[in-house]
Amino acid sequence: MVSWLAERSVDAVAAALEKVCPELVGPPIELHDMWVETGNPLWARSSAFVGDAWVVKFAWSEPAAIKLEREIHTLLAVATSDRPPPVRRVSAWSSDPVLMVSPFVPGSPVLGNAIARSSAAQVHHLGGELANMLAAFHDPATHGAIERSGVRLPPPTPQATTAELRARLSPMLDAPRRACVEGWCDWVDGALAAHEPEPVILHGDFHGYNLVVDESQQVQAVLDLEEASLGDYHYDFRYLPAQEPTLGLLLATVESYERLTKRRVSLDRVMAWHVRTVLGDALWRTEAEVALPGGGTPASWIDELDARMTELPLGKA
């Protein structure tokens, strides 16, 4: 049985903190400003800063509360691994209402404009850092910790299926881009139909805003395990092709990951998940009338995706 906040507000968070963690009552509460209204109750969850030292995650719908409670238990389980990635520490939590209190981790997200200003050596270093994080999530020790905890993780759920892209995104496009998307959907179906590797624990939402790095680009924390799942390790690479203007960070991460894990990374599988991610993101945002990041449009995102697909040596799923 779980409960949730009545609304996303400072007053609601303060009342929940008074019940769950009364020692934090007093410092100012600031709601996270990156939350976007989508109309979907599953996404009715967000975070708030409490003073300078604490972060509180909370939900204000039943589906979101259930998902946040699973994230809490996943974080607690991951922390028991012999080789855990640096996930956010759970200092206090509750199911009534669902709430998680964690220390604030200072640092910066991994942003494309910062990577664009980096040297090749710095990009290679950052790729090694990301590979270390992915290797830790995908390590059998992490899988074992999750299993021992009793947490049951679902398969990953990318933003859209190829059937949804054909039926709902294609009609929004001009003829050349529609043909491009439908061709990609056929290719993705074939690439992902190939033999799927043994499932591993996935972060599920591994992108720059869920990473905290210090001034030397050392990863201090991997945030937001809301989409933690069990599946194909290629899935966790799906955001990296668009993380910065070139493909340098993706390729550096792949190189280091292969060396660390002795697993081969299929760029076809990575890009198949990437296609479903980019196009699915464009689809739901357009349907929900939510702006695409960077002021883009479905057409501009398709053009950028086309450039990435052309640059990579694909064809061997």
When pLDDT is cut at 50, 70 and 90, the band that residue 304 belongs to is very high
Predicted confidence at residue 34, as pLDDT, reads 79
Q: For residue 201, count other CB atoms closer than 10 A to its CB.
A: 31
Percent of the chain with pLDDT over 90: 93
The pLDDT score that the predictor gives to residue 257 is 98
Stated as kind and residue range, the H or E segment containing 230 is strand 229-231
Question: Residue range 130-142: average pLDDT?
Answer: 97
Domains of the chain, earliest start first? 10-103 (3.30.200.20), 112-311 (3.90.1200.10)
| 172-208 pLDDT tens trace | 999 999 999 999 999 999 999 988 899 999 999 999 9
Q: What is the pLDDT of residues 272-294, one digit of tens each?
A: 999 999 999 999 999 999 999 88
pLDDT of residue 316: 46
Contacts of 185 (CB under 8 A, 6+ apart): 162, 165, 166, 275
Quick: pLDDT tens for 225-263.
Answer: 999 999 999 999 999 999 999 999 999 999 999 999 999
CA dist., res. 224 & res. 31, Å (int): 16
Residue 48, pLDDT score:
97
Per the confidence metrics, is the pTM higher than 0.75?
A: yes
What pLDDT does residue 234 have?
A: 98
pLDDT digits over 144-162, tens only?
999 999 999 999 999 999 9
Is residue 22's pLDDT more than 60?
Answer: yes
Rounded distance between C-alpha atoms, residue 17 and residue 56, angstroms: 9
DSSP E strands: which ranges in 44-187?
45-50, 54-59, 92-95, 98-103
Task: Label residue 317 by pLDDT band (50, 70, 90).
Answer: very low
The pLDDT tens digits of the residues spanning 70-80 come to 999 999 999 99
**Residue 144: both structure tokens together:** 């074992």
Beta-bridge mates of residue 212: 221
Q: Is the pLDDT of residue 315 over 80?
A: no
